Amino acid sequence: MQEAIEQALDYLKGIWLKRRYIIISTWLICPLAWVYVAQLDDVYKSEARVFADTQSILGPLLKGMMVETDSEAQIRLMVRTLLSRPNLERIARMSDLDIQTTGSDSYEALIIRLKRDISVEKTGDKNQNLFKISFSDKNPAMAKDVVQSVITVFIENTLGENRSDSDTAQRFLISQIKEYENKLLQAEGRLTAFKQKYSDVLPNQTGGYYSKLNKAKEELRATELTLLETESQLASLKKNLSTSSSQESKTSSKIVDGNSIQTTYDERIKELEVQLDSLQLRYTEQHPDVKEGQRRLAHLNKQRDAEIKEYLAASDSSDKEFAPLSLNPVVQEIQIQMNQLEGQVASLKVRAKNSQAIVKELETKIHILPEIEAELVALDRGYNITKEQYESLLSRKEKAVIAEKADATSSQINFKVIDPPLAPTKPAGPKRILLYLAITIFSWVAGAAISFAFSQINPVVTSSNQVAKMTGIPVFGIVSAAENLGLQRWHKRKTILFILSNSLIIILLGCFITYSLFPEAIQLPFNRIF
């Protein structure tokens, strides 16, 4: 640490010995730089503050009924795109800066200057959309016009982008709705055709494929069981009919042999004959009642004769086991039941055959059932997804329409100019005082750096330690030059010159600073003289 301090002191001593370079540097740099700064044109800065209000009265009322946009993100995007080339060209035209250009190069320089000098900063709290817009120019009126143009472009772009975005969104939604409507119709057609093709194996209100198969098998078993029962009943009736017919045949033979075949008309004929005998006792043959009784009796006798002929023909037939119609009521009842059972047997056989065919068909499709079900699931999934997207697009379109109508009534983002731009009366730059001080300090530092460089190029020994380090030989004694009066006077003159030079520099610096602070007060006497 001690060595570092000693080294630093040696460097400072070397700079002090070469301090003439500091004088040279200050007098070469400071006057010229000060004059240049003094000749710089005044720059006027115009500012304005704009507040972006994102709170809308209709927002809470229409929440969930319209498309909600991120106003904060929208504002940030507008700020970033505000200084785009099209907007800068509009600002140049609105403020008449483009008239001052003489060519394409001058116009490009103007655009670059506007992009560099126009400042849009967010001020205040992070949650507050308060922006400060500023611009500097040699002409205070021009600075104001540029700021006003920036505000106008900022607001117009916001409103135009909102309406343009709304129109673009609606056109996009309409095109997508038409596209998804066609997709939905195609999906419905594919699903309907698939269900029609595999309606016998697809699940429905009555169940799925296996439920249908089990139901068909149960119906087949029930039909076969009913068929067996019916056939058993029919066989029993045939057996009973055979017994009754044999007994009836024996009785009929006896009756035929005695010439006394009984028919169903015998009792009625006997009753009618008794009535006719009674009428003939009371009336003549020409009486209407007697004629009517005779006509009815003749009709019944004809029917009795026809029944006897039919019975005799049936009895004589040798190629039939039973008579088609028996005169015995019991036999007749059995025959009627047999006819009914035979019809039921035929119907049950048809039903059983159909059930067998259905079961066989369902069983043949059991190996392709997983593929059918997988395809059905895929078709249903695609249809549902398309339907959801279609319904979502319809909902979004309705929200977009409501949002557009709401924007026509109340803009989502309202801009309020808090502080309008004004033509400044006092220049905002350049900061001459700071420049004067910076130039002065720079000249001293540059001179010190030059002095240090020459002290290292042409070193001067200032201490015994330095000699020891340079030679590597220990120093046992020092011969001082303090008694040399000439050398003392020379160092004294250099010091006085250094002090006077820097004092004069400081005085000149104060003059320039005073002039920059009070230019009118200093120029007034000269204006009176000249």
Q: How many CA atoms lie within 13 A of 44 on its CB side?
A: 17
Q: Where are the domains of the chain?
A: 1-40+430-520, 43-199+373-428, 209-372
DSSP state of 484: -
CA dihedral 364, 370, 375, 381 (to 10 degrees): 140
CA distance 269 to 302: 11
**CB 134 within 8 Å of CB 147:** yes
Closest by CA position to 389, among listed 165, 171, 181: 181
Q: Which residue has the tokens 């004059």?
A: 35
**CB 417 within 8 Å of CB 49:** yes
CA dihedral 444, 450, 451, 454 (to 10 degrees): 180
Q: Please tell me the predicted confidence (pLDDT) of residue 522.
A: 67
Q: What are phi and psi of 46, to 5 degrees?
A: -110, 135
Q: Please tell me the predicted confidence (pLDDT) of residue 57.
A: 41
CA distance 530 to 60: 72
Q: How many CA atoms lie within 13 A of 175 on its CB side?
A: 6
**CB 16 within 8 Å of CB 495:** no
Mind listing the pLDDT tens digit of every residue in the chain (530 residues)?
776 787 777 778 778 888 888 999 999 999 999 999 888 888 888 999 888 776 554 444 444 444 444 455 656 666 677 788 888 898 899 888 888 888 888 999 999 999 898 888 887 666 567 888 899 888 889 999 999 998 888 777 766 555 555 566 677 778 888 888 888 888 888 888 887 777 666 665 445 666 777 777 888 888 888 888 888 887 887 777 777 655 555 554 444 443 445 667 778 888 888 888 888 878 778 877 778 888 888 888 888 888 777 766 655 553 344 444 455 566 667 777 777 878 888 888 888 888 888 788 777 767 777 777 788 888 888 888 988 888 888 887 777 776 666 554 444 566 788 888 888 888 887 888 999 999 999 999 999 999 888 888 876 666 666 666 666 677 666 655 555 556 677 778 888 998 999 999 999 999 988 888 887 766 666 556 65
Q: Please tell me the predicted confidence (pLDDT) of residue 504.
A: 94
Closest by CA position to 384, among listed 179, 193, 187, 202: 187
Q: Please tell me the predicted confidence (pLDDT) of residue 175.
A: 83
Beta bridge partners of 480: none
CATH 2.60.40 fits 209-372, yes or no: no
Q: Please tell me the predicted confidence (pLDDT) of residue 506.
A: 93
Q: What are phi and psi of 322, to 5 degrees?
A: -125, 155
**CB 138 within 8 Å of CB 42:** yes
DSSP state of 98: G
pTM for the structure as a whole: 0.44
Q: Which residue has the tokens 């117009």?
A: 156
CB atoms within 10 A of CB 444: 17
Q: Please tell me the predicted confidence (pLDDT) of residue 194.
A: 82
Contacts 24+ apart (CB under 8 A), 282-286: none
CA distance 139 to 95: 12
Domain covering 43-199+373-428: architecture:
2-Layer Sandwich (3.30)
Q: For the chain, state the CA radius of gyration.
A: 64
Token representation of residue 64:
């969930």
